[in-house]
């Protein structure tokens, strides 16, 4: 696996509440780790929540003696949830802080994916771009229930209301996916600062027209900023 990670404050925000992580090499029992977290809960709280989440995950994975990718990921995400909750309890100014999370681990020709919230993972092959994760958002639930058309969801005023997050009391509700990888497949993990600004077809085109992952990542962020840059923008790209 080859990877690239970048995050950008965008054009409208004063600080960056996103946090990204990418390791091409073995981390604990895992063959690599890719993560995007998009924090919420005010400026100080949002960037703290996303950083705490990822750091707690990495600490647990590095020290894990478990085997089984999904088991290790699940344990790490639960620990991250506890870390964010415990920190929020120490300071009234941090009450309600939380973060989305999307994480991926390659393992013997498969990609194991976990998500909580509306940050996404896409697989991009020679012919198409496919969203693997499901957004945990109010608008997406309305679409799945048939109460809202997909074309109405893009600019819905409640689009940013998420229904799951890291930082909620109790065990987090985590979706897990496994994807068979083909040679030269790309994975894209991103926050909604990208997908709210750039259409999937343009993302596909940028990735395939770029010389390498770094160029693709920079061009994706530039495209989001050219479209308005209304939020922090994070991308993690991997090629297998």
pLDDT, tens only, 55-80 = 999 999 999 999 899 999 999 999 99
pLDDT, tens only, 149-194 = 777 777 777 777 899 999 999 999 999 999 999 999 999 999 999 9
Stretch (H or E) spanning 179:
strand 175-180
What is the 3-class SS of 14-73, one letter each residue? CCCCEEEEEECCCECCECCEEEEEEEECCHHHHHHHHHHHHHHHHHHHHCCCCCCHHHHH
Three-class secondary structure of residue 201 per DSSP: helix
- pLDDT per residue of the chain (240 residues) written in tens, 0 to 9: 999 999 999 999 999 999 999 999 999 999 999 999 999 987 679 999 999 999 999 999 999 999 899 999 999 999 999 999 999 999 988 989 999 999 999 999 999 999 999 999 999 999 999 999 999 988 877 877 777 877 777 777 777 789 999 999 999 999 999 999 999 999 999 999 999 999 999 999 999 999 999 999 999 999 999 999 999 999 999 999
Inter-axis angle of helices 69-89 and 43-62, nearest 10: 140
């Amino acid at each position: 696996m080859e990877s690239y990670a970048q995050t950008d404050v965008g054009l409208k925000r004063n600080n960056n509440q996103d946090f990204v992580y990418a390791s091409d090499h073995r981390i604990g029992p895992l063959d690599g780790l890719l993560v995007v977290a998009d924090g919420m809960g005010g400026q100080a709280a949002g960037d703290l929540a996303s950083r705490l989440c990822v750091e707690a995950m990495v600490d647990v994975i590095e020290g894990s003696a478990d085997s089984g990718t999904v088991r290790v990921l699940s344990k790490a995400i639960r620990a991250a949830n506890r870390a964010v909750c415990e920190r929020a309890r120490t300071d009234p100014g941090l009450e309600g802080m939380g973060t989305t999370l999307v994480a991926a681990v390659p393992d013997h020709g498969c990609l194991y994916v976990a998500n909580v919230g509306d940050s996404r993972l896409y697989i991009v092959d020679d012919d198409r771009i496919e969203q693997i994760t499901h957004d945990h958002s109010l608008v997406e639930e309305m679409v799945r229930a048939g109460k809202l058309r997909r074309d109405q969801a893009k600019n819905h005023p409640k689009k940013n209301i998420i229904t799951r997050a890291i930082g909620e009391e109790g065990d987090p509700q985590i979706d897990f996916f496994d994807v068979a990888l083909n040679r030269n497949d790309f994975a894209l993990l991103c926050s909604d600062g990208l997908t709210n600004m750039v259409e999937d077809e343009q993302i596909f085109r940028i990735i395939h027209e770029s010389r390498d992952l770094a160029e693709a990542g920079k061009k994706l962020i530039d495209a989001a900023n050219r479209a308005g840059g209304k939020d922090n923008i994070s991308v993690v790209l991997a090629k297998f």
